[in-house]
Amino acid sequence: MNRATGVIASKARSMLGSQLHVSEYEELLHKRNVAEIAGYLKNSTAYATALKDVRENYIHRGQLEDILKKETFRKMMTLYRYSDASQQVYYKLHLQKIEIDLILSRIRALISQSFDSTIPDLPLFLNPYICYDLKKLGVVKTFDELLDVIEKTSYYKVLIHYRVKKGKEKEIVYAKIEHQLLKKYFEESFRIIDKTLRGESRKQCYELLASQVELDNISKIYRLKKYFDVDENVIRKSLFPVSYRIRKAAWEELIQCSLPQFIEKVKTGPYHLPLENSEDLYIEYFIEKYMYKLAKKNVYFAQDAPTVYSSYLILIQTELNNIFSIIEGVRYEAISEDVEQLLVY
């Protein structure tokens, strides 16, 4: 084990020990408002340092979420600074995914014409680390303005094909843009893994990414079958062409079968997702649970820095999503038991 691996693995395992425990989630689930959630995180959890200057009785949801995002990014950078220089192109892939998510968020705002809270919701602390200006992105109100912001990035070549004129934003083909941006990201990620990593590191990072892609494909098939009456070719074209644990013939079976058959095949397939054919099935929960378990195993047992790093990012993002789910539950006065069923830990 080289120095980078030793330091990154040691720090990741140490920080993992400070993640929220079941008892802390139970406490958070019984808070009645954002102030109480902020107060508990500040006074009773490892988020104390991040929230030390917060006056919890005056904080609103957006401010709390921004602080938590910054803390998650700080944890990521704590590991990144110890990375091997020859592998840093791999470590930066996470930033590319953030860039894509922010572009897609702005496109959704263009379609809905909901601009009021856009700039406050943007993680402006990321501006020094990404390839376009976040402040400029936050004031984009037309597709041409979006193209101007990303003109000098690789995303421009993807989005230029889907340009719409001012006033025609509702005609933006969001699903195709999302698919092409993510396809670009996945292809680049697999290429970098193959070119940059070696041995067990390459194998495990490939497994982590390929599992994410295949599970995303499973989720897409389920949603298209359940909520949309689409042709099999539409489903086929919406998937990313990866066959890691699921062979090509098995993908065809999943595409062509009925929804009940699909659920049974996923249950008995290589990922063994324990799905039930119910109206309120939330397949993303089972997918996140699978990736969480895989990532946690990797953090404790992997012997290479890139695998530990990528796995740890999954764990801290999952915790962030859990907290956001609790905050949303309070916002909409949801029953705590219902919110609890969404949490992954």
Given this model, what pLDDT does residue 195 score? 97
Does residue 120 carry a pLDDT above 60? no
User: Averaged over 48-70, what is the pLDDT?
Assistant: 94
Given this model, what pLDDT does residue 222 score? 97
Given this model, what pLDDT does residue 116 score? 67
**Tens of pLDDT, residues 195-211:** 999 999 999 999 999 99
Q: For the whole model, what pTM was predicted?
A: 0.93
46/50 Cα distance (integer angstroms) = 8
Given this model, what pLDDT does residue 123 score? 85
Average pLDDT, the chain: 94
Q: Which residues contact 320 (CB under 8 A, 6 or more apart)?
A: 68, 69, 72
Does residue 117 carry a pLDDT above 90? no
Given this model, what pLDDT does residue 319 score? 98
Given this model, what pLDDT does residue 267 score? 97
Split at pLDDT 50, 70, 90, the class of 339 is very high
User: Averaged over 74-97, what is the pLDDT?
Assistant: 94
Amino acid at 344: V
Split at pLDDT 50, 70, 90, the class of 119 is low
256/98 Cα distance (integer angstroms) = 34
Split at pLDDT 50, 70, 90, the class of 294 is very high
- Tokens representing 221? 């098939």
Given this model, what pLDDT does residue 76 score? 95
User: Averaged over 132-152, what is the pLDDT?
Assistant: 96
Pick the closest to residue 259 from 288, 234, 230 (CA basis): 230
235/255 Cα distance (integer angstroms) = 7
Split at pLDDT 50, 70, 90, the class of 276 is confident
Q: Give percent above pLDDT 70 in the chain.
A: 98
User: Averaged over 325-345, what is the pLDDT?
Assistant: 94
Given this model, what pLDDT does residue 229 score? 84
User: Averaged over 313-318, what is the pLDDT?
Assistant: 98
- Tokens representing 35? 């102030």
Split at pLDDT 50, 70, 90, the class of 277 is confident
**Tens of pLDDT, residues 280-291:** 899 999 999 999
**Tens of pLDDT, residues 16-39:** 999 999 999 999 999 999 999 999
**Tens of pLDDT, residues 151-197:** 999 999 999 999 999 999 999 999 999 999 999 999 999 999 999 99
240/212 Cα distance (integer angstroms) = 11
b/e burial code for range 277-312 (CB count within 10 A of at least 16 → b): eeeeeebeebbbbbbbebbbebbeebebbbbbbbbb
Does residue 101 carry a pLDDT above 70? yes
Enumerate the domain spans of the chain: 1-82+317-345, 88-186
Highest CATH level, class, for 1-82+317-345: mainly alpha
> Would you say 177 and 107 are in contact if contact means Cβ atoms under 8 Å apart?
yes
Pick the closest to residue 130 from 97, 107, 159, 104 (CA basis): 97
**Tens of pLDDT, residues 236-257:** 999 999 999 999 999 999 999 9
Given this model, what pLDDT does residue 323 score? 98
Pick the closest to residue 9 from 292, 210, 310 (CA basis): 310
Given this model, what pLDDT does residue 310 score? 97
